[in-house]
């Protein structure tokens, strides 16, 4: 199998908020940095984040400080967060938002000309910085501008398939150029994984099509420890119709700006569940409240509930929620006048690659940042903490990867391993008989959506685990691309992604079965009351190739769980 | 049975195909379906190797721009019309990697060339104080998601990459508007041929974020250039000097309409309405017969027409090229003249027959006057065709009876369609004329190349755009092309010099039909 080898010092896999930030940081160290992007530069899922960036600047509520941000993050995370990591998040968030401004970001302002901040769920103060309801886009555009200023070499539409590890240390990756179908090996002294989440393993999701868990799959295979994989955030408000828009995000900013949730009787039902905080309860809490209304027959005709903002003046809606107006206009709804129909949608992975305070993994030379990591957000992520995470840990991982690269040389790579990897990818094209990736995918995403969802049950999850083990054994090796063309072939792209989806889904389901009580986003209808749940579940690939799960003590620095 | 949409998709794999070809698919229609849904349907049901880009499906990432029935748009926010077949092609001007996937490298290099980031000469203090007012305009043009659809539709980019296209000019303006950026973006804009834009507004029309690039970027940068002392092209400056001196953008040739008309009042018995006629420079000085035709047509439809004898140029050439002093002086003067006329004759409607003037009165004068004195001009502005169809009402129009047996197509002036949202009215008028066989031109809304100061400032480029337009018009097989703008008429007449194609102004054609009908 022919391939080309490309050399660099630091390799960043992924070009969203964390990846771009890591690459820019590493390039500031006068190193040769390559950033791989599965999509075109600037199109990453970060651009779809709407609401904002949490930072305790105290521009609106002067009493806010990192300490309070920390406390809110830990309480919101149901105490499962790695408190070291959460401390770094709140400590560095202010400097990182200033970095963005230095690069050219345009956030909305207070009357004094400082960065404006608004209310988001489960936060003690108005803390969420924003640019209307296109904050992620603002950040992505800024990082794109900054990347174009930097010396980072961007390889866009290049898909990483396998991490290469030599003598236990990172040495490079195998990849495919999606444009032309060429096989590429990138050899680097250090690698940063910034591959985002995997909402797409569920049939209803707010995530872009690229979020299939590539990073989880690759890291697991490379021997990385993974944690909290059972903790999936279902965002309470996704679009319900039209069918093709199902799951699209309806930003928390709608509720932050005063939007209210109503059932089909016109009742403001959050009053029944969380009367003190109402619509601004935790995302997991609001999601379950909505689903309870729907299950008990008080939902809207299309299977959701109503979210109404029409009591606010048009001018406020137009200034602060402009994307929402546009998004619902396409669905024939004028949110200035009518309520939206919403229901929960798979949104964010709190879990992921386990990292330390240097953003490093258990594989030397391999760093990770952003949604593909676990530990920062615990059992439930606060709205607005994800964008902050991308910047804080993006910069940290870039810096540490650069420092590591400066002290090391390129390791050799195992060419036999590379050959086997590319033969695996080639085989999908050459198979005479097999299973189409699109069928396999829809089976998987439906399974996950119905069996490992918001309300979880032992037998359903067991069923999912059994099915996923079967899929891994029987379907994955038989994936067959319909048209055997390597040049920009979405059928092949889907086929290559599928194995990562299966590995990710398995980690989610296996960990969910292991956690017998309810905690954070993991909610069991058959919860064991004796399982308080104050532990993390860590997963790694065992020496025999089997998935190994174990419980680990929480990392606590300041706040002890009740 | 579910409705199916015939969808032709351009296929091309340069590894194995010598040329692109079309493949047809039957797509099952569902209400609310987008072009992206249609593409995903084809990929799922017929061919998983069909190449197109998409990510967010919600108009936020800008990956999925393709040409939909000849116009580039993002697929995820373009609704499928159940009554129409779909033709899907890759973006124009950029090489194809496969099927609907373009190679964006050219665009990326062009973006990099303008140093597309905030350049600072010192480290800022934190927190950096920036007031909302300073970023108000910037915030508006910042929404771009780089889908590149505007590059594919731009008539200038179509002719030459000398012009980097709307998306990139917008980025220069975004940086010019940023109080933190220290680069000379005006010099950069000049270097990037900012005077090539005809302000046709095609970019705004298809922009998923509706960014008014001609006004917020092109005209803004031009105004800054004029302010910084960059000279305008000779041809452009001549117009402006003439406006300042005479109130007309062009010199007198034959007896002007306003001199020729003996009276200001063209009143009828039992009028259904009364309007003031804003002639504009070209109808007054070059197309006197069109002016008379308009008065005639309106009178025949029982509308009183007032033609103030003292009129002034709307100063469109000044607004378009960035000479804001001349532009604003004219806006004040025009407002005064027409408010006085409306008051004197007790009416509130001004009718124009020039797309450029109408657009300028509506989109430029109105906000400027409102900002300056807190109240917009006290009159409404209507294009003549719009007035007839919308105000008089189609059912009330006296039907023209004289037969004009011809195949007739229509060129939609940019500043009438996209400038004033008058799209179908002129065509409806055409179709009322007996004998007319109307032929629709899928490219009818493409620029003729005259506007934005390009004809005056860069005749060679203007001619290139016109030549492309000529090809579109001739491809319809019509005998005559009609339009509703004197500037377009002059430009199209020029390009059709050696052609059999006749060029007419709609009021002239209507008046002719009325006259013929009377003779019989």
Distance in Å, alpha carbon of A146 to nearest chain B alpha carbon: 6
Sort out which chain A residues have CB atoms less than 8 A from B124's CB and list them.
101-102
Pick the residue from chain B with its C-alpha nearest to A331.
B32
Of the candidates B365, B394, B423, which is a domain's last residue? B394
Q: Which long-range contacts (CB under 8 A, 24 or more apart) does A84-87 make?
A: A84/A356, A84/A357, A84/A555, A84/A557, A85/A355, A85/A357, A85/A375, A85/A376, A85/A555, A86/A376, A86/A378, A87/A557, A87/A558
Question: How many whole angstroms separate alpha carbon A159 and alpha carbon A26?
Answer: 21
Q: Do B290 and B342 sit in the same domain of this protein?
A: yes
A488/B99 Cβ within 8 A: yes
Q: Do B406 and B431 sit in the same domain of this protein?
A: yes
In a domain, B14, yes or no: yes
SS3 content of chain B, % helix, strand, coil (to 5): 45, 15, 40
Q: How many domains does chain B have?
A: 4
Nearest to B400 by CA among B483, B303, B301: B301
Question: Reduced to 3 states, what is the DSSP secondary structure of residue A7?
Answer: strand
Q: Do B413 and B446 sit in the same domain of this protein?
A: yes
Of the candidates B349, B370, B394, which is a domain's last residue? B394
Distance in Å, alpha carbon of B331 to nearest chain A alpha carbon: 29
What is the tens place of the pLDDT at every residue in B241-295? 999 999 999 999 999 999 999 999 999 999 999 999 999 999 999 999 999 999 9
In a domain, B161, yes or no: yes
Of the candidates B196, B227, B258, which is a domain's last residue? B227
Under 8 Å between Cβ of B463 and B159: no
Under 8 Å between Cβ of A358 and A396: yes
B117/A145 Cβ within 8 A: yes
CATH assignment of the domain containing B218: 1.10.1060.10
How far apart, in Å, are the Cα atoms of A311 and each of A262, A265, B174? 13, 18, 34
Sort out which chain A residues have CB atoms less than 8 A from B31's CB and list them.
242
Task: Assess whether the previous peptide bond of A523 is cis (omega < 30° from 0).
Answer: no
What is the tens place of the pLDDT at every residue in B28-54? 998 889 999 999 999 999 999 999 999
Please tell me the predicted confidence (pLDDT) of residue B283.
96
Per-residue confidence band for A498, with pLDDT thresholds at 50, 70 and 90: very high
B124/A47 Cβ within 8 A: no
Please tell me the predicted confidence (pLDDT) of residue B1.
56
Give the count of Cβ contacts less than 8 A between chain A and B.
Answer: 168
Q: Do B203 and B251 sit in the same domain of this protein?
A: no
Sort out which chain A residues have CB atoms less than 8 A from B49's CB and list them.
481-483, 485, 489-492
Catalytic residue among A21, A127, A248, A255: A255
Q: Do B66 and B110 sit in the same domain of this protein?
A: no
Closest partner CB to A113 (pick from B50, B126, B131): B131
Under 8 Å between Cβ of A54 and A120: yes
ipTM of model: 0.94
* Dihedral angle sign, alpha carbons of residues B295, B299, B300, B302: positive
A40/B63 Cβ within 8 A: yes
In a domain, B126, yes or no: no
Does A255 participate in catalysis according to the annotation?
A: yes
Distance in Å, alpha carbon of A469 to nearest chain B alpha carbon: 26
In a domain, B464, yes or no: yes
Question: How many whole angstroms separate alpha carbon B520 and alpha carbon B514?
Answer: 10
Structure tokens at B429: 């008028």
CA–centroid distance for A252 within its chain: 16
Q: Which of A47, A150, A345 to mutate to test the interface with B (most CBs of B within 10 A)?
A: A47
DSSP, res A334: -
Q: Please give the residue range of the domain that contains residue B456.
A: 399-519
B115/A39 Cβ within 8 A: no
pTM score over 0.90: yes
Sort out which chain B residues have CB atoms less than 8 A from A326's CB and list them.
59
Residues 6+ apart with CB under 8 A from B307: B258, B261, B264, B266, B276, B277, B279, B291, B295
Q: Which of B23, B49, B97, B134 to mutate to test the interface with A (most CBs of A within 10 A)?
A: B49
Under 8 Å between Cβ of B414 and B198: yes
* Dihedral angle sign, alpha carbons of residues A295, A296, A300, A305: negative
Residue whose tokens read 């998409």:
B54
Q: Do B513 and B406 sit in the same domain of this protein?
A: yes
In a domain, B232, yes or no: no
Q: Do B258 and B150 sit in the same domain of this protein?
A: no
B61/A101 Cβ within 8 A: no
Under 8 Å between Cβ of A340 and A350: no
Q: Is the model's pLDDT at A28 over the cut of 70?
A: yes
Residue A157 burial by Cβ neighbours in a 10 Å radius (0-12, 13-18, 19+)? buried
Distance in Å, alpha carbon of B129 to nearest chain A alpha carbon: 5
* Dihedral angle sign, alpha carbons of residues B248, B253, B259, B261: negative
Catalytic residue among A235, A348, A381, A456: A235
Half-sphere exposure of A129 (CA within 13 A, CB side): 27
Under 8 Å between Cβ of A208 and A196: no
Q: Do B385 and B410 sit in the same domain of this protein?
A: no
Q: Is the model's pLDDT at A310 over the cut of 60?
A: yes
Structure tokens at B93: 């001007």
Sort out which chain A residues have CB atoms less than 8 A from B104's CB and list them.
40
In a domain, B234, yes or no: no
Does A134 participate in catalysis according to the annotation?
A: no
In a domain, B191, yes or no: yes
What is the tens place of the pLDDT at every residue in A350-408? 999 999 999 999 999 999 999 999 999 999 999 999 999 999 999 999 999 999 999 99
Sort out which chain A residues have CB atoms less than 8 A from B101's CB and list them.
179, 488
In a domain, B214, yes or no: yes
Pick the residue from chain B with its C-alpha nearest to A208.
B56
B48/A481 Cβ within 8 A: yes
Q: Do B260 and B304 sit in the same domain of this protein?
A: yes
CATH assignment of the domain containing B472: 3.40.50.1860
Residue A455 burial by Cβ neighbours in a 10 Å radius (0-12, 13-18, 19+)? middle
Question: How many whole angstroms separate alpha carbon A430 and alpha carbon A545?
Answer: 26
B63/A43 Cβ within 8 A: yes
Sort out which chain A residues have CB atoms less than 8 A from B37's CB and list them.
244
| Domains along chain A with CATH numbers | 232-347 (3.90.700.10), 419-532 (1.20.58.100)
Closest partner CB to A40 (pick from B59, B60, B104): B104
Q: Which of B136, B142, B210 to mutate to test the interface with A (most CBs of A within 10 A)?
A: B142
Q: Which of A55, A95, A108, A113 to mutate to test the interface with B (most CBs of B within 10 A)?
A: A113
Pick the residue from chain A with its C-alpha nearest to B171.
A145
Pick the residue from chain B with its C-alpha nearest to A330.
B77
Question: How many whole angstroms separate alpha carbon B308 and alpha carbon B263?
Answer: 9
Q: Please give the full DSSP string across A410-466, using - where no structure is assigned.
A: PPP--HHHHHHHHHHHHHHHH-SS-B-HHHHHHHHHHHHHHHSSSEE-HHHHHHHHH
Closest partner CB to A482 (pick from B31, B49, B61): B49
Q: Which of B33, B61, B75, B79 to mutate to test the interface with A (most CBs of A within 10 A)?
A: B61
Q: Do B274 and B300 sit in the same domain of this protein?
A: yes
Nearest to B31 by CA among B65, B61, B5: B5
Please tell me the predicted confidence (pLDDT) of residue B32.
86
Give, for A49, the enclosing helix (H) or strand (E).
none
B130/A113 Cβ within 8 A: yes
Nearest to A484 by CA among A445, A548, A430, A527: A430
Pick the residue from chain A with its C-alpha nearest to B61.
A43
Residues 6+ apart with CB under 8 A from B31: A242
CATH assignment of the domain containing B49: 3.10.20.30
Q: Do B411 and B500 sit in the same domain of this protein?
A: yes
B112/A244 Cβ within 8 A: no
Sort out which chain A residues have CB atoms less than 8 A from B117's CB and list them.
103-104, 145-146, 148-149
Sort out which chain A residues have CB atoms less than 8 A from B123's CB and list them.
102
Q: Do B424 and B389 sit in the same domain of this protein?
A: no
CATH assignment of the domain containing B390: 3.40.50
Sort out which chain B residues have CB atoms less than 8 A from A48's CB and list them.
56, 58, 60-61
Distance in Å, alpha carbon of A255 to nearest chain B alpha carbon: 20
pLDDT in tens, chain B (520 residues): 579 999 999 999 999 999 999 999 999 998 889 999 999 999 999 999 999 999 999 899 999 999 999 999 999 999 999 999 999 999 999 999 999 999 999 999 999 999 999 999 999 999 999 999 999 999 999 999 999 999 999 999 999 999 999 999 999 999 999 999 999 999 999 999 999 999 999 999 999 999 999 999 999 999 999 999 999 999 999 999 999 999 999 999 999 999 999 999 999 999 999 999 999 999 999 999 999 999 999 999 999 999 999 999 999 999 999 999 999 999 999 999 999 999 999 999 999 999 999 999 999 999 999 999 999 999 999 999 999 999 999 999 999 999 999 999 999 999 999 999 999 999 999 999 999 999 999 999 999 999 999 999 999 999 999 999 999 999 999 999 999 999 999 999 999 999 999 999 999 999 999 999 988 7
């Amino acid at each position: 199998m022919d391939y080309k080898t490309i050399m660099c010092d630091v390799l960043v896999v992924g070009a969203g908020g964390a990846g771009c930030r890591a690459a820019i940081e590493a390039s500031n160290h006068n190193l040769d940095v390559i950033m791989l992007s599965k999509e075109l530069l600037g199109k990453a899922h970060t651009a779809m984040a709407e609401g904002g960036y949490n930072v305790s600047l105290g521009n609106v509520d002067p009493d806010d400080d990192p300490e309070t941000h920390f406390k809110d993050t830990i309480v919101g995370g149901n105490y499962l967060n790695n408190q070291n990591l959460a401390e770094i998040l709140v400590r560095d968030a202010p400097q990182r938002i200033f970095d963005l401004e230095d690069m050219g970001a345009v956030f909305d302002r207070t009357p004094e000309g400082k960065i404006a901040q608004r209310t988001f769920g489960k936060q003690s103060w108005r803390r969420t910085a924003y640019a209307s309801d296109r904050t992620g886009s603002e950040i992505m555009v800024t990082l794109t501008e900054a990347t174009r200023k930097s010396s980072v070499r961007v390889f866009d539409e290049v898909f990483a398939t396998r991490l290469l590890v030599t003598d236990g240390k990172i040495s490079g990756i195998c990849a495919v150029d999606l444009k032309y179908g060429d096989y590429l090996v990138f050899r680097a002294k250090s690698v940063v994984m910034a591959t985002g989440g995997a909402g797409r393993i569920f049939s209803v999701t707010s995530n872009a099509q690229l979020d299939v868990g590539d990073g989880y799959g690759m890291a697991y295979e490379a021997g990385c420890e993974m944690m909290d994989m059972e903790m999936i955030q279902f965002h309470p408000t996704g679009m319900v119709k039209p069918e093709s828009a199902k799951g699209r995000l309806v930003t928390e900013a709608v509720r932050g700006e005063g939007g209210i949730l109503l059932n089909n009787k016109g009742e403001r039902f959050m009053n029944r569940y969380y009367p003190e905080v109402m619509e601004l309860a935790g995302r997991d809490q609001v999601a379950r409240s909505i689903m309870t209304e729907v299950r008990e027959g008080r939902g809207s005709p299309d299977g959701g509930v109503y979210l109404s903002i029409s009591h606010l003046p048009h001018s406020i809606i137009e200034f602060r929620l402009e994307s929402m107006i546009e998004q619902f206009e396409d669905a024939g709804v004028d949110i200035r006048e009518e309520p939206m129909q919403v229901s929960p949608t798979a949104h964010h992975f709190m879990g992921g690659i386990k990292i330390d305070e240097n953003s490093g993994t258990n594989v030397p030379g391999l760093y990770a940042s952003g949604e593909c990591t676990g530990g920062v957000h615990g059992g439930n992520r606060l709205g607005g903490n994800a964008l902050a995470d991308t910047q804080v840990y993006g910069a940290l991982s870039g810096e540490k990867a650069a420092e590591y690269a400066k002290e090391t040389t390129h390791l050799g790579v195992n060419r036999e391993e590379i050959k086997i990897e590319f033969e695996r990818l080639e085989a999908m094209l050459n198979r005479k008989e097999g299973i189409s990736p699109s069928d396999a995918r829809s089976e998987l995403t439906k399974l996950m959506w119905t069996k490992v969802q918001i309300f979880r049950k032992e037998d359903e999850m067991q069923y999912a685990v059994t099915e996923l083990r079967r899929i891994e054994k029987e379907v994955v090796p038989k994936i067959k691309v319909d048209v055997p063309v390597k040049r920009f072939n979405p059928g092949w792209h889907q086929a290559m992604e599928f194995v990562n989806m299966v590995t990710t889904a398995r980690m989610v389901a296996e960990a969910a079965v292991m956690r017998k009580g309810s905690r954070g986003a993991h909610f069991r209808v058959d919860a064991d009351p004796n399982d308080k749940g104050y532990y993390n579940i860590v997963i790694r690939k065992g020496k025999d190739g089997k998935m190994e799960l174990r419980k680990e003590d929480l990392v606590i620095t300041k706040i002890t769980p009740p | 049975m579910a409705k199916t949409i015939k969808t032709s998709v351009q296929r091309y794999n340069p590894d194995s195909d010598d040329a692109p070809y079309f493949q047809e698919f039957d797509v099952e229609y569902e209400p609310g379906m987008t072009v992206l849904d249609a593409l995903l349907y084809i990929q799922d049901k017929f061919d998983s190797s069909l190449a197109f880009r998409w990510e967010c499906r919600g108009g936020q990432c800008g990956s999925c721009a393709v040409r939909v029935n000849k116009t580039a748009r993002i697929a995820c926010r373009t609704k499928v019309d159940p009554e129409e077949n779909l033709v899907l092609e890759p973006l124009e001007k950029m090489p194809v990697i496969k099927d609907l996937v373009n190679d964006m490298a050219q665009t990326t290099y062009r973006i990099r060339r303008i140093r597309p980031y905030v350049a600072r000469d010192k480290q800022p203090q934190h927190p950096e104080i920036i007031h909302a007012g300073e970023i108000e305009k910037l915030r508006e043009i910042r929404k771009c998601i780089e889908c590149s659809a505007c590059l594919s539709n731009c008539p200038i980019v179509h002719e030459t990459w000398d012009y980097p296209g709307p998306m990139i000019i917008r980025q220069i303006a975004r940086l010019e508007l940023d109080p933190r950026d220290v680069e000379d973006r005006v010099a950069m804009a000049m270097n990037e041929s900012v005077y090539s834009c005809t302000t046709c507004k095609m970019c705004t029309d298809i922009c998923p974020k509706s960014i008014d690039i001609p006004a917020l970027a092109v005209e803004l940068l031009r105004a800054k250039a004029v302010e910084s002392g960059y000279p305008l092209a000779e041809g452009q400056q001549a117009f402006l000097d003439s406006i300042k001196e005479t109130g007309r953008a062009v010199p007198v040739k034959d007896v002007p309409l306003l001199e020729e008309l003996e009276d200001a009042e063209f009143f009828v018995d039992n009028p259904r309405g009364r309007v003031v006629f804003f002639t504009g420079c070209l109808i007054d000085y070059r197309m006197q017969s069109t002016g008379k035709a308009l008065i005639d047509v309106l009178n025949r439809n029982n509308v009183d027409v007032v033609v103030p004898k003292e009129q002034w140029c709307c100063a469109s050439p000044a607004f378009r090229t960035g000479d804001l002093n001349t532009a604003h002086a004219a806006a004040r003067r025009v407002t005064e003249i027409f408010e006085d006329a409306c008051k004197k004759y007790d009416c509130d409607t001004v009718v124009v027959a020039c797309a450029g003037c109408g657009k300028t009165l509506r989109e430029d004068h109105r906000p400027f006057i409102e900002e300056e004195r807190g109240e917009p001009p006290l009159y409404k502005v209507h294009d003549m065709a719009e007035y007839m169809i919308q105000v008089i009402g189609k059912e009330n129009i006296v039907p023209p009876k004289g037969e004009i047996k011809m195949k007739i197509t229509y060129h939609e002036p940019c500043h009438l369609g996209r400038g004033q949202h008058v799209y179908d009215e002129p065509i409806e008028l055409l179709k009322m004329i007996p004998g007319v066989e109307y032929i629709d031109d899928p490219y009818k809304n493409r620029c003729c190349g005259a506007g934005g100061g390009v004809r005056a400032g860069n005749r060679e480029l203007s001619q290139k755009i016109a030549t492309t337009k000529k090809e579109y018009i001739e491809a319809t097989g019509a005998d005559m092309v009609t339009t509703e703008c004197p500037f377009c008429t002059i430009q199209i007449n020029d390009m059709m010099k050696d052609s059999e194609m006749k060029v007419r102004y709609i009021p002239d054609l209507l008046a002719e039909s009325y006259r013929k009908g009377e003779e019989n």
